[in-house]
Amino acid sequence: MLHNRIALLRAERAVSRKDLAEAVGVNFQTIGYLERGDYSPSLELALKIARFFNAPVEVVFSLEPFESLTAQLLRAGETKKENV
Amino acid sequence: MTSPAKIERPAPSRLTQSARRKIVAAIGLGLAALLVFDYLASSSDGVIGILSRALVATVLLAGIFALITTSTWFMMNAPDGALDERERALRGRVYFDAYVALAGVVAFAGLYFATLGPDFGLWMPQNQDQWWTIAWAALSLALLLPTAIYAWRAPDPLVDEI
């Protein structure tokens, strides 16, 4: 299964499913099914989505589950403390 | 991947997966009932036969109408260019499974009418009307099976959101 951060990136940039779908040339329902993990995109669609968010494809898609945002923030906070 | 062409698409199906599955089940039962009623009609009076057929036909038509007035029909009949990669892949799987199922039914029917029915004294059509009913049921099955499989499988529709 392919994991993705599409919902997070969309929410962060206030982009609707329809806007993203139109930009990458798919039906907005497909974006919803991608976000739910019900569908794995072709390489071309994955690259188009990554390009839309102006991010490397591995930032948007991963074969491993993504770390939660909270865990990332905690880890970043600890690293900052260590550096101080 | 080809982008979907700019074709006027119907809104996503108003029906949930559960509602669509009930409709498909009702159509399946209706077709089966039509065959059973036809068998019974050979030994019952004409009025009961006509009424029962009319009732089943109403259920069938209502179910088919429900499917063809939703996006289900569009998904099964739109040109490839109007669909995106997920929709084309889903449709391809549905057509393949419908072909396999239909081939199975036709093979079984051939075996039944050629060997099983006559050799084991099982039910066989008694008159031309019953053969016509079987022919119509087979035609309906061939035409409706892909749409029915798609309606059964397609996930619940999603809404747009940020």
* A27-36, B58-67, B80-89, B111-120: segment of lowest average pLDDT: B58-67
Exposed, middle or buried: residue A23 (CB in 10 Å: 0-12, 13-18, 19+)?
middle
Q: In chain A, pLDDT over 70 holds for what percent of residues?
A: 100
Interface contact B6, partner A, CB < 8 A:
no
Question: What is the distance between the alpha carbons of residues B144 and B67, in angstroms, rounded to a whole number?
Answer: 10
For the segment B30-86, what is each residue's pLDDT rounded down to a tens digit?
878 877 776 666 655 577 777 777 777 787 888 888 777 777 888 888 888 889 999
- Closest listed residue to residue B34, CA positions, set B73, B111, B26, B45: B26
DSSP letter, residue B116: I
pLDDT (average), residues A2-23: 95
pLDDT (average), residues A36-50: 95
- Chain A and chain B share a number of CB contacts under 8 A equal to 51
pLDDT reading at B2 higher than 60: no
Interface contact A26, partner B, CB < 8 A:
yes
For the segment B5-34, what is each residue's pLDDT rounded down to a tens digit?
566 676 666 788 898 899 889 888 887 887
Question: What is the distance between the alpha carbons of residues B68 and A32, in angstroms, rounded to a whole number?
Answer: 24
Q: Which amino acid is at A79?
A: T
Q: Which of A14, A28, A44 sits opposite B1 (nearest CB)?
A: A44
Mean of the per-residue pLDDT values of chain A: 92
ipTM: 0.82
Question: What is the distance between the alpha carbons of residues B90 and B152, in angstroms, rounded to a whole number?
Answer: 12
Interface contact B11, partner A, CB < 8 A:
no
Residues of A in contact with B161 (CB under 8 A): 16-17
Interface contact A44, partner B, CB < 8 A:
yes
Strand partners, A3: A62
Interface contact B161, partner A, CB < 8 A:
yes
Question: What is the distance between the alpha carbons of residues B132 and B18, in angstroms, rounded to a whole number?
Answer: 33
Whether B84 and A38 lie within 8 Å, measured CB to CB: no
